[in-house]
Amino acid sequence: MADKVIGVLGGLGPWATLDFFEKILRLTPAKADQDHLRIIIDNNPKIPDRSPAILGEGEDPTPGLIATAQNLQQAGADFLVIPCNTAHFFYDRIVTAVSIPVLHIMDEVAAAARDAVRDVRMLGVLATEATMAAGLYHRACGRAGIEVIGPDSAGQRVVNRAIYGVKAGQMGPDVTRTLVQVSDQLLARGAQALVLGCTELPYVLKPHDLRVPLLDSNLVLARAAVRLATGVPQPASTRR
């Protein structure tokens, strides 16, 4: 059976899309160009910022999200992925605008958490203020019986600065240091693992920076996409 074509609703932002594409390539067991998956990427950074729209302060990105999703379907994608956590606030609107499946990043992370941490009960999530305010991870993980906690207001400001810093190309060790401090606060409150709930964050926080499992939502989504495209299960994260 032929592999399915992956459609990537990208540009939200471009660095996150680049990271997602590289992860797909590294997850694909290819020995030649022809062994790789067909991926159609619409890198559309002109879609308005999702966070201000959710917080009532910016332009609605729905028309751009829907147009880009429909463009990918018309181009031949068999299913869609959105390597942007905050954009999943608009997930239902995107799904109803296309006739192909759309993977849900929070649902995939919730499932991956059970593979990463035995008897997981609580996850710490680092994400945009809008993602946290909208309760996107709270709902998805709650359906799996997992509690979600986020940073306090000061910690959230640190995370926001890091996310928008990556968008501006700022990815130095000082950013990592501040994120580790915020993460340690979540661990002290009982988090058994940390979720990178924004697809910019893999550039500035790595598994070796923490003493607990780190669930990279972009990597989780990439694994799910390869699994769906090939029909071959992806290796689960090591339990701790």
Residue 238: pLDDT above 50? no
DSSP string of 58-117? S---HHHHHHHHHHHHHHT-SEEE---SGGGGGHHHHHHH-SS-B--HHHHHHHHHHHHS
Q: Are residues 109 and 212 in the same domain?
A: yes
**Rounded percentage of the chain residues whose pLDDT exceeds 90:** 94
For residues 234 and 227, the answer to whether their CB atoms sit within 8 Å is: yes
**SS (HEC) of 7-41:** EEEECCCHHHHHHHHHHHHHHCCCCCHHHCCCEEE
Considering the domain boundaries, does residue 192 fall inside one?
yes
* Residue 100 to residues 11, 71, 95, 171, Cα–Cα distance (Å): 20, 12, 8, 35
Residue 233: pLDDT above 50? yes
Residue-wise pLDDT for 108-118, tens only, equals 999 999 998 98
DSSP conformational letter for 235: P
Considering the domain boundaries, does residue 68 fall inside one?
yes
For residues 77 and 68, the answer to whether their CB atoms sit within 8 Å is: no
- Which of 132, 128, 134, 138 has the alpha carbon at shortest distance from 159? 128
Q: Are residues 117 and 206 in the same domain?
A: yes
pLDDT the model gives residue 240: 28
Q: Are residues 189 and 130 in the same domain?
A: yes
Q: Are residues 209 and 223 in the same domain?
A: no
Q: Are residues 15 and 94 in the same domain?
A: yes
Structural domain of 75 = 6-104+219-230
Non-local CB neighbours of 67 within 8 Å, separated by 6+ positions: none
Higher pLDDT: 237 or 163? It is 163
Considering the domain boundaries, does residue 38 fall inside one?
yes
For residues 42 and 12, the answer to whether their CB atoms sit within 8 Å is: no
Q: Are residues 180 and 99 in the same domain?
A: no
pLDDT the model gives residue 236: 54
Considering the domain boundaries, does residue 236 fall inside one?
no
Q: Are residues 78 and 156 in the same domain?
A: no
Considering the domain boundaries, does residue 187 fall inside one?
yes
Can the peptide bond before residue 150 be classed as cis, meaning omega within 30 degrees of 0?
Answer: no
Give me the CATH number covering residue 38: 3.40.50.1860
Considering the domain boundaries, does residue 239 fall inside one?
no
For residues 86 and 201, the answer to whether their CB atoms sit within 8 Å is: no
Considering the domain boundaries, does residue 238 fall inside one?
no
For residues 205 and 84, the answer to whether their CB atoms sit within 8 Å is: no
Q: Say whether pTM exceeds 0.85.
A: yes
The residues annotated with a catalytic role in the active site are 84, 198
Grade residue 239 by pLDDT with cuts at 50, 70 and 90. Answer: very low
Q: Are residues 95 and 109 in the same domain?
A: no
Q: Are residues 82 and 124 in the same domain?
A: no
**Rounded percentage of the chain residues whose pLDDT exceeds 70:** 97
Q: What would the mean pLDDT of 52-59 be, rounded to a whole number? A: 96
For residues 160 and 129, the answer to whether their CB atoms sit within 8 Å is: yes
Mean pLDDT (the chain, rounded): 96
Considering the domain boundaries, does residue 1 fall inside one?
no
Q: Are residues 207 and 109 in the same domain?
A: yes
Q: Are residues 127 and 78 in the same domain?
A: no
238 SS3 class: coil
Q: Are residues 31 and 92 in the same domain?
A: yes
pLDDT the model gives residue 235: 62
179 SS3 class: helix
| Domains of the chain: total | 2
Residue-wise pLDDT for 169-188, tens only, equals 999 999 999 999 999 999 99
